[in-house]
């Protein structure tokens, strides 16, 4: 049985429905005197994504966006604050959509937020002075590696898309088996290396290399991966199967995985078809090396989560001590830890 609603009931019902289903928020409802300090940061971050998406959509359709609509009338410091709550990648994308966004995205206020809080301390540890004319230029200068702590310990750089910190430990600061015996290990200089010296394993049976870094140096609340950065000398051998054991340890956390620095051929030479398939399956399960943009190779040793930076040192290693065959020709540039993206 339906009940008719009177005028007063209809008014109450309308007000109630408005409270449940509020009207969509429009940009022109913002007062032009709006300043960032008056707005909730989470709201601004959500707003920034919708504004950027709208402007990119207009640009994709060939519509005029320079100074058009209400976005261009927002105060620049408001837009800058919005962009500072995103990421370096989003800020660079936003700079393409309008003149207002381009000006805001280049401001020091935005890029100051993307730099690590201890960047002044990092600059003070640099081997060579870091020259820059703006905070944005400093950010991208730090995306290229700089030597710190005398250059014999490690290099530093920012992960370009997020601004998280990366470090590479130089081989002189690593644990390398027989490193001081010239019969087994030789130290040379390579122009393509970021460090003054790299280690070359000449001939070892017991293979054991590793290193450590203090988690306080890394970005907080970030998942990291550890990598061995290396090359092969001409005529290298013995670095294929059986696989090496890669390990990462931080406090009570420990991980171990099998990796293989060198390929094991086609996987079925001298074997029947089924054995060849098993070899290929095992090879797919192992972590594979990859070629880096700088011409070196890397292989992942494992992951770890750096919570509040109070876990002490993270230890990384690569070992093969069961099959005591000769191994030769590994050139080690260092161990790198960088955010897992």
What are the structure tokens assigned to 100, written together? 């207002």
Domains of the chain, CATH where assigned = 34-112 (no CATH), 167-339 (2.60.120.260)
Upper half-sphere CA count for residue 252 (Cβ side, 13 Å):
0
Residues shown for the chain: 341
| 88: Cβ contacts below 8 Å, ≥ 6 apart | 111, 114, 139, 160, 161, 162, 163
**How many of the other CB atoms lie within 10 Å of CB of 313?**
14
| 21: Cβ contacts below 8 Å, ≥ 6 apart | none
So what's the pLDDT on residue 52? 58
So what's the pLDDT on residue 20? 36
| 246: Cβ contacts below 8 Å, ≥ 6 apart | 228, 256, 257, 258, 259, 287, 299, 300, 301, 302, 316, 317, 318
Task: Say if residue 166's pLDDT is above 90.
Answer: yes
Global confidence as pTM: 0.75
So what's the pLDDT on residue 76? 85
So what's the pLDDT on residue 72? 63
Q: Which residue has the higher pLDDT, 38 or 21?
A: 38
312: left (phi over 0), alpha (psi -120 to 50) or beta: left
Mean pLDDT of 322-334: 94
Please tell me whether residue 267 adopts helix, strand or coil conformation.
Answer: coil
Task: Provide the β-strand partners of residue 201.
Answer: 185, 330
Q: Name the residue among 301, 300, 268 with its Cα closest to residue 282.
A: 268
Task: Phi first, then psi: give them for residue 74, nearest 5 degrees.
Answer: -70, 145
What are the structure tokens assigned to 80, written together? 């800058």
Q: Name the residue among 338, 143, 327 with its Cα closest to residue 228.
A: 338
What is the per-residue pLDDT across 204-220, written as a single tens digit (0 to 9) for each? 999 999 999 999 999 99
Please tell me whether residue 300 adopts helix, strand or coil conformation.
Answer: strand
So what's the pLDDT on residue 153? 75
Buried b (16+ CB within 10 A) or exposed e, 79-113: bbbbbbbbebebbbbbbebbebbeebbbbeebbeb
Task: Provide the β-strand partners of residue 244.
Answer: 259
What are the structure tokens assigned to 58, written together? 């207009």
For the four alpha carbons of 212, 145, 113 and 341, in that order, the dihedral sign comes to negative
Whole-number average pLDDT of the chain: 80
pLDDT band at 151 (very low <50, low <70, confident <90, very high): low
So what's the pLDDT on residue 47? 53
Mean pLDDT of 59-73: 54
So what's the pLDDT on residue 56? 57
Strand residue runs (E) in 160-269:
165-169, 175-176, 185-188, 198-201, 207-214, 222-237, 244-250, 253-259
Task: Provide the β-strand partners of residue 232.
Answer: 330
pLDDT-above-90 percentage for the chain: 57
What is the per-residue pLDDT across 249-307, written as a single tens digit (0 to 9) for each? 999 999 999 999 997 654 444 455 555 566 555 555 456 889 999 999 999 999 999 99
């Amino acid at each position: 049985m339906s009940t008719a609603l009177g005028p007063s009931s209809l008014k109450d019902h309308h007000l109630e429905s408005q409270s449940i289903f509020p009207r969509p928020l429009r940009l022109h409802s913002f007062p032009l005197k709006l300043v960032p300090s008056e707005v909730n940061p989470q709201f601004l971050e959500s707003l920034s994504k919708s504004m950027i998406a709208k402007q990119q959509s207009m640009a994709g359709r060939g519509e005029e966006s320079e100074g058009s609509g209400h976005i261009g009338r927002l105060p620049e410091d408001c837009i800058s604050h919005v962009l500072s709550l995103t990421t370096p990648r989003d800020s660079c994308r936003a700079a393409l959509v309008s003149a207002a966004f381009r000006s805001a995205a280049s401001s020091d206020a935005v890029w100051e937020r993307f730099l690590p809080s201890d960047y002044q301390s990092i600059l003070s540890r640099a081997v060579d002075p870091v020259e820059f004319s703006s905070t944005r230029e400093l950010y991208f200068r730090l995306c290229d590696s700089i030597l710190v702590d005398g250059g014999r310990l490690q290099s530093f750089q920012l992960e370009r898309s997020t601004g998280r910190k990366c470090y590479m430990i130089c081989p002189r600061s690593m644990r390398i088996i027989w490193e001081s015996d010239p019969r087994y290990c030789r130290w040379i200089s390579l122009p393509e290396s970021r460090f003054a010296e790299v280690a070359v394993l000449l001939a070892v049976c017991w293979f054991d290399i590793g290193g450590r870094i203090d988690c306080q140096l890394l970005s907080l609340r970030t998942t990291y991966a550890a990598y061995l950065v290396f090359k092969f000398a001409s005529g290298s051998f013995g670095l294929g199967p059986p696989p090496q054991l890669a390990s990462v340890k931080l406090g009570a956390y420990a991980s171990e995985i099998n990796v293989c620095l060198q390929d094991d051929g086609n996987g079925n030479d001298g074997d029947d078809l089924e054995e060849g398939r098993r070899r290929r399956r095992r090879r797919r399960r192992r972590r594979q090396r990859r070629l880096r943009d700088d011409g070196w190779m890397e292989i992942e040793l494992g992951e770890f989560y750096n919570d509040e930076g109070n876990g002490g040192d993270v230890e990384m290693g690569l070992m093969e001590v069961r099959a005591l065959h000769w191994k030769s020709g590994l050139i080690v540039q260092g161990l790198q830890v960088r955010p897992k993206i």
